[in-house]
Amino acid sequence: MKTFRVLSLVLCLALLGGCAGYQLGPTNGMAARENSVQVIPFVNQTLEPRLTDAVTQQLRKQVQKDGTFRLATHDDGDIVVSGVLVKYERHELSFSKQDMVTVQDYRVSLTAKVTAKEKSTGKLLLDQPVTGYTLIRVGSDMVSSERQALPLLAENLAQSIAALLADGSW
């Protein structure tokens, strides 16, 4: 019985010790939802249509989901996030077994130049390119395949941007 208690104590200490580096809530030292973020619709400089709405919607969703900031919806954000979609690319990943020229899978990437500024001071908090990725399995219609993958691409890009905002050292 004494051995069981000792083993239980050692196990509890090991589990508690593993949680020492974990932090609940914002990781940049701020209180959760202390500041608000206003997301301005991104400008699309690529030749690919329908990207602006998908990225802006997903970024707003990710800011809410993360919980570090409140989402400002009526021009009242402490931090204003904007961006320009600058590059949309397809990279071939795999080819058909029957025809080595026919692409079977693509890796699609979307790069945005993202800026975040403090509204009150104009201080630039974030100014860098961010890239999101997704995979596309090409079926009989490439356009439909890309259209179906667009929400996943926008979500991946938005997750990367939201992580940069939440983990910012400002």
- For residue 122, the model assigns a pLDDT of 93
* pLDDT at 22 (0 to 100): 42
Mean pLDDT by runs of 10 across the 170 residues of the chain is 62 56 48 80 95 97 93 88 97 88 92 96 96 92 91 97 84
Enumerate residues 6+ apart whose C-beta is below 8 A from 121.
none
Burial of 53 (0-12, 13-18, 19+ CB in 10 A): middle
Specify the DSSP element, H or E, that contains 109. strand 103-118
Residue 8 pLDDT: 64
Q: Are 75 and 39 in contact (CB under 8 A)?
A: no
Q: Residue 113 maps to which CATH number?
A: 3.30.160.150
Check residue 74 and give its pLDDT.
80
pLDDT computed for residue 101 by the predictor: 84
Structural domains in the chain (count): 1
User: What pLDDT score was predicted for residue 129?
Assistant: 98
User: What's phi and psi for 111, nearest 5 deg?
Assistant: -110, 135
Q: Which helix (H) or strand (E) holds 9?
A: helix 2-18
The C-alpha atoms of residue 89 and residue 106 are separated, in whole angstroms, by 10
Beta strand 103-118 pairing with 124-137:
antiparallel
Name the residue range of residue 148's domain.
2-166
